[in-house]
């Protein structure tokens, strides 16, 4: 597998996809065209999403072709030399991917060794389920099942913050609920500005911030770039 799973598209004060584009370019070295899944877009059009991504991918010389323009999206995926899934609303993304049969098609291509890039919702759907998304369920997918390219769950945009005056659950408490109900799964709290590279049977954290690890029966703990994360690949 060759996966780049990115927490967020844009760091505060930066341009869209600016911080991860160098790593994206490295993973996609030699790729001419990438198949893009824009279905996480809700408040703007799929065409607008493609233009936004293409503007950044122009910097690495890659053409973006979207499944929403294809007569047969699964066939497009099966012929892809690389796949990219953008962020937005994870439930909207999952519903459309399931409706079109893209989950299975993408997993097949990932197992064949082609590169996969996903950010935010696009990293959520690489996991076994979408149950650790932060998003509101604005639509109902067939199930919570996702691509299942990795065996662990990701919580993108992970935050430690508990704002003053806020009496609700923190992100850590919500993830604690998930691991209580799903004791076999690890959850990686992936902070903004960070990404996970899965390649050559290895997994690597890239970024300046630590990642928080959750599993039932283990106190949450931090890992840093350079640490051994092989336990996540199981």
The whole-angstrom separation of Cα 97 and Cα 14 is 30
From the candidates 157, 160, 227, 228, which is the catalytic residue? 157
- Cβ atoms of 138 and 89 within 8 Å: the answer is yes
Supply the DSSP string of 76-128, one letter for each residue. Answer: HHHT-S-EEE--S-HHHHHHHHHHTTHHHHHHHHHHTT-EEEEETHHHHTTSS
Does residue 228 have an active-site annotation?
A: no
Task: List, in order, residues 6 or more apart from 75 with CB less than 8 Å away.
Answer: none
Does residue 166 have an active-site annotation?
A: no
Give, as one character, the DSSP assignment of residue 169.
Answer: -
The whole-angstrom separation of Cα 96 and Cα 14 is 30
How many Cβ atoms from other residues are within 10 Å of residue 33's Cβ?
A: 14
| Alpha-carbon 92 to chain mean position | 14
Does residue 135 have an active-site annotation?
A: yes
From the candidates 7, 66, 123, 135, which is the catalytic residue? 135
From the candidates 120, 143, 160, 227, which is the catalytic residue? 120
Closest by CA to 24, choosing from 2, 49, 48, is 2
The whole-angstrom separation of Cα 195 and Cα 156 is 9
Catalytic residues: 120, 135, 157
């Amino acid at each position: 597998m060759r996966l780049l799973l990115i927490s967020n598209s844009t760091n505060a004060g930066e341009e869209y996809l600016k911080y991860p584009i160098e790593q994206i370019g490295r993973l996609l070295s030699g790729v001419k065209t990438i198949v893009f899944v824009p279905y996480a877009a809700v408040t703007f059009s799929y065409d607008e999403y493609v233009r936004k991504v293409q503007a950044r991918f122009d910097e690495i010389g890659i053409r973006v072709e979207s499944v929403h323009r294809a007569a047969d999206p699964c066939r497009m995926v099966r012929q892809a030399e690389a796949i990219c899934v953008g962020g937005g609303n994870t439930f909207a993304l999952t519903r459309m991917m399931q409706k079109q049969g893209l989950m299975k098609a993408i997993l097949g291509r990932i197992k064949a060794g082609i590169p996969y890039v996903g950010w935010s919702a696009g990293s959520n759907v690489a996991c076994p389920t979408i149950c650790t998304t932060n998003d509101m369920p604005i639509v109902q997918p067939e199930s919570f099942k996702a691509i299942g390219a990795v065996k662990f769950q990701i919580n993108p945009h992970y935050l430690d913050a508990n704002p003053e005056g806020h009496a609700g659950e923190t992100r850590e408490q919500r993830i604690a609920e998930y691991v209580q109900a799903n004791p076999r799964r690890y959850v990686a709290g992936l902070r903004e500005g960070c990404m996970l590279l899965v390649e050559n049977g290895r997994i690597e954290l890239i970024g300046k911030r630590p990642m928080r690890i959750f599993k039932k029966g283990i106190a949450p703990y931090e890992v840093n770039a350079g640490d051994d994360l092989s336990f996540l690949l199981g």
